Structure 1
Amino acid sequence: MADTDPWCAACEWNLESFAPAENAGWVWRLIDRWDSRAGFRVDRRIVEAYLRNPEAAVPRAGYLFLVLISAVLMLLLAAVVVAGLRFLLQGERLPIIPGALLLGGAWLLRPRLGRLKKLLRGVHVVPVTRAPVLHNLVERIARETGAPLPDVLALDYSWNAYAAVVGIRRTKVLVLGIPLLLVMGPQHLVALIGHELGHLRHKDNGRRLLTQPALTAFGTFSELLRPPRGNAVDLRLAGSTAFLFTAWQAVTGVVSLLLFAVHLGVHVLDSRGSRRAELRADAMSVQAAGSTAAMEMVDLSPLLPELRGYVRGHVPEGRQAGDHWRSMLTLARDRELRSVAVQRQLSIRLGASLLASHPAPGRRRQWMAGLPYALPAVVVSAGDAAAIEAELNPYAAAMHRWMVG
């Protein structure tokens, strides 16, 4: 921590101070500093408001505003489709061109429901027959928390976990990263699954679908209108052609910049709701696994960059990759958790941003600590923990084969 600004561990004095990268220009350093400090203050206010009154802290005004923008954009999209079809149905050569352009623009702005086949590309779908104890654990957590049971359980090779609802049938998918499962203890796993099922229970994916047009349209148009780099001289243009090209660059560049500013604005507005949704999911994590395990699970987040180095392609001969990685990660995890307080607070500084979709791990831990202490609703027995480890080992072996090529 020698290269960071000092802060007070008791009162958080100077914790919002953040030194941007030295190799960035002065404008970007100023923006980074402002974004970090503003994000720090917003995170603190969200946590404090949620502790005072969880119901009052549920996002409403900002979310409804984004839904309204999305509804207007969808009406415009429908009008564009109708206009494009009318042009095409006229059958004349000239109207066909604007008709095709209008329909092409409508296609770019169409709502994305997601595709199950695309989501499952590169992941291992885990049937009940291959991992009955893991499936049973997910069922127990869903039952105890009142969350819907995912339709598909899958494993991938990331240090991440997420729940998604995709397709016209709105298929619920729970994806767990194998390295993340190897580093976690049994109750940490309950906390992780409880958190992800919390997103399904509160229908966060459905909320995201309703605001998707507002979150994507302005950025898409900004990208389409962004002029190419280089000036008229670089492209060897001269005379009126050079003038028209420069004027076109200036106009579309300004419009593209304004659209990107709106794109950033709606994402800043959305990020506040996203961070509250994460705290809401954390409440289910506490309910499922108990306060101690849920807080330890969150404490692991700032430690993951350090722990990644223990998952390597080299595995001693005669040992299974899953057992080898798990033993190393468990030792490193328990060692790091004994001195995690500084990393926890440092994460509050480094993870602060107006655009962050999650509160910093330290803030999430701080919020959990302010809740009434909860005992676990789901406890993993030693026998079930050993069975889950055995069920994960074949997938860890597949990951090892993928790593060594």
Structure 2
Amino acid sequence: MTGEHERTYAAHLGGLRSEPWDEGTSAVLDTVEQHVQACPQCGVEIRTDHRFVAWCAACDWNVNPGQPEPPTGRLEVLRHRLARQHGETLLAEVTTDGTLRPRRDAVGVLALALALAVHGTTAALLVGGLLLVVLGWGSALPLLGALSLLVAWSLRPRFARLPEDEPVLRRADAPELFALVDEIAGTMGTTGVHAVSITAEYNASVSTYGLRRRRLLSIGLGLWETLTAEQRIALLGHELGHYANGDTRHGLIIGNALRSLDTWRYLLSPVEHPTLVEAALNALYLLPRSAVTGVLMTLDHLSLRATQRGEYLADTFAARCGSTEAAVGMMDRLLVADSAAATLLRESNSRQTRRAGAPTGSEAWSGLWERLAAHMDSIPESEHERQRRCSALRGHSVDSTHPPTHLRRARLLTAAALPAAVTMDTARSTALRAELKETRDEVARRVMDGR
């Protein structure tokens, strides 16, 4: 969901104060202390919040102080140009396609065919290894067969497991939450999930686990606790939309093909500071390593197109479930993700420097999510606008699974506004909060413990 977290002011975040929290600290820290100065570039008066980067809205002075260096070399320039062209073409396509239904175009078919060829190579190694072991007795062929079987085993498809270091909820643990997920999924013509993991991240995601490909929804409280009820519905709509639109990049076939190619690249990686024999092996591996790298880059590029299109479609689902206004508001929250991360880090560090009389020990986590939400609510609109302009300046990334946030946001705003198909009244919100209380407290303790 937040593959494009904006990180333009990381240096500034490192300088945020890390003083301890008490009940009044949040209000003191989040008080807007405006500084007035003249823009060094155009002279316009600038009013800045001391917690964020000073910049000029009139001429964009200092709008992106962490701007990366422009690409160098013909290959990098070409990759960035192709990424921009692809992004512009995709944006035009999804803007004119009112339905934006999931579909598999020629690029998707080619990606699937390439992934199947990768798995075919693994199957050939498995079958060939077995034949060499069974039929090659009396020669050195069984050793070669055993090596083939070992490589095939390392390339085998992987099936994720439920996280062991995070709270995982089942239907019996959070019936209200699962009922909300089921309602949102039904709105999109798909089914709900089998489990929900709760983390402290400023993020949310969906995945599958186990041989039966059961569905897992991951909710990061760092994000969840800063959203309104409508924005939470939009968030769930976006994530469940990835199931509805059949995203394939992390699926069984293409996802495992990408892992297999990564494994091949590792197995064929050159030895550093080689001996004479190892130098010969490095030279021998050069051609197959280059071929593997080429296939990996090709499959990665082909699958990225479908994944980015899937993000636009998931945005449509978010607007349909929670309303266009809620979906856009959620994206604005994602633009300032680094501020939330810095706040949680500051909270964790403050435990080591807590002032006398402040909560200690097991009480240090109390009110963590409320303080985070208050801080995020206090972020001025000027900082959101700066991040939107930063997103526009960065443009299309060559390897991002998400289109630029400012384009996703603009696309929703230019389309007809959608009302919320799923609503959450006060009683439902209260019930959700009550059944998540124990998990919220557990994750808050983990944050304060630095885990």
Superposed pair shares fold, TM > 0.5? yes
Mapped partners of 1:327, 1:32: distance in 2:
44
Aligned twin of 1:51: 95
Does the 8 A contact of 1:67 with 1:214 survive in 2?
no
Match for 2:393 among 349, 357, 371? 349
Quote how far apart the aligned CAs of 1:98 are. 0.6
Q: Which sits farther off after the overlay, 328-337 or 181-190?
A: 328-337
CA offset digits 1:126-148 (Å, max 9, x no partner):
23444333222212212333221
Measured at CA, do residues 130 and 245 of structure 1 come closer, stay the same or move farther in structure 2, by a change above 3 Å? Answer: closer
1:51 offset after TM fit, Å?
0.8
Query: Which residue of structure 2 aligns with residue 136 of structure 1?
Result: 179
**Does the C-alpha gap of structure 1 residues 31 and 366 become closer, same or farther in structure 2, counting only changes over 3 Å?**
farther
Is 2:125 the partner of 1:80?
yes
Using the TM superposition, name which of 301-310 and 390-399 deviates more: 390-399
Q: Quote the residue 2:16 is aligned against.
A: none
- Deviation of 1:192 after TM superposition, in Å, equals 0.7
Please tell me whether residue 111 in structure 1 is matched to residue 111 in structure 2.
no
Matched with 2:315 is: 282
Please state whether the residue corresponding to 1:164 is helix, strand or coil.
Answer: strand
1:60 maps to 105
2:68 alignment counterpart:
20
Matched, 1:148 2:191: yes
Give deviations 1:146-171, integer Å, cap 9, x for gaps. 22111212212322211122322221
CA distance in 2, matches of 1:337, 1:271: 34
Q: Which residue of structure 1 lines up, in the alignment, with residue 359 of structure 2?
A: 317
The question of whether the paired residues in 1 share the 8 Å contact of 2:83 and 2:398 is answered with: yes
Distance apart, 1:245 and its partner CA: 4.2
- Structure 1 contact 321–397 (Cα < 8 Å) conserved: no
**1:2-401 equivalent positions in 2, closer than 5 A:** 20-21=68-69, 35-53=79-97, 54-55=99-100, 58-90=103-135, 91-92=137-138, 94-112=140-158, 114-115=159-160, 118-204=161-247, 208-232=251-275, 242=276, 245-311=278-344, 312-313=347-348, 314=350, 317=359, 324-336=367-379, 338-339=381-382, 340-350=384-394, 352-401=396-445
* Alignment partners' CA distance in 1, 2:329 and 2:104: 27
- Tell me the secondary structure at the aligned position of residue 163 of structure 1: strand
Gaps in structure 2 of 5+ consecutive residues: 1-7, 12-40, 43-55, 352-357
> Offset of 1:80 from its aligned partner?
2.2
Give the secondary-structure state (helix, strand or coil) at the position aligned to 2:109: helix
Q: Deviations over 1:298-357 (max 9, x none)?
A: 121120101222222358639977772333333333333633223123124346312111
Distance 2:194 2:101 in 1: 32
TM-score scaled by length of structure 1: 0.82
Q: 1:179 to 1:251 in 2, by over 3 A?
A: same
Aligned-pair distance for 1:43?
Answer: 2.3
Q: CA RMSD in A?
A: 3.5
After superposition, the C-alpha distances for 1:98-131 in whole angstroms (9 at most, x for unaligned) are 111111122222223x13xx33322212234443
Fraction of identical pairs, as percent: 23
**Cα offset, 1:9, TM superposition:** 8.8
Instruction: State how far apart, in whole Å, the 1-side matches of 2:105 and 2:380 are.
Output: 37
In terms of mean alpha carbon deviation, does 293-302 or 33-42 score higher? 33-42
User: Residue 198 of structure 2: SS of its match in structure 1?
Assistant: strand
Q: Which amino acid aligns with 1:357?
A: T
Q: Which has the higher helix share?
A: 1
- Per-residue displacement from partner, 1:350-401 (whole Å, max 9, x unpaired)? 4631211111221211221122110101121123223323333322221232
1:8-65 per-residue CA deviation (whole Å, 9 max, x = no partner) reads: 999x9xx99x95359x9x65xx766654454344323212210112558845111111
CA distance in 1, matches of 2:273, 2:293: 20
Q: Quick check: 1:190–1:285 contact (8 Å CA) kept in 2?
A: yes
Secondary structure at 2:207's aligned position in 1?
Answer: strand
* Mean CA deviation greater in 345-354 or 156-165: 345-354
How far apart in 1 are the matches of 2:165 and 2:438?
16
Distance 1:59 1:345 in 2: 33
- After superposition, the Cα gap between the structure-2 partners of 1:255 and 1:337, relative to the gap in structure 1 and judged at 3 Å, is farther
* Residue matched to 2:17: none
Give, in whole Å, the separation in 1 of the partners of 2:172 and 2:438.
Answer: 13
Aligned-residue offset at 1:274: 0.5
**Letter paired with 1:331:** A
Residue of structure 2 equivalent to 1:235: none
Q: 2:18: which partner in 1?
A: none
| TM-score when normalising by structure 2 | 0.75
Contact (CA 8 Å) 1:322, 1:392: kept in 2 or not? Answer: no
Moved more, 203-212 or 180-189: 203-212
CA distance in 2, matches of 1:34, 1:228: 30
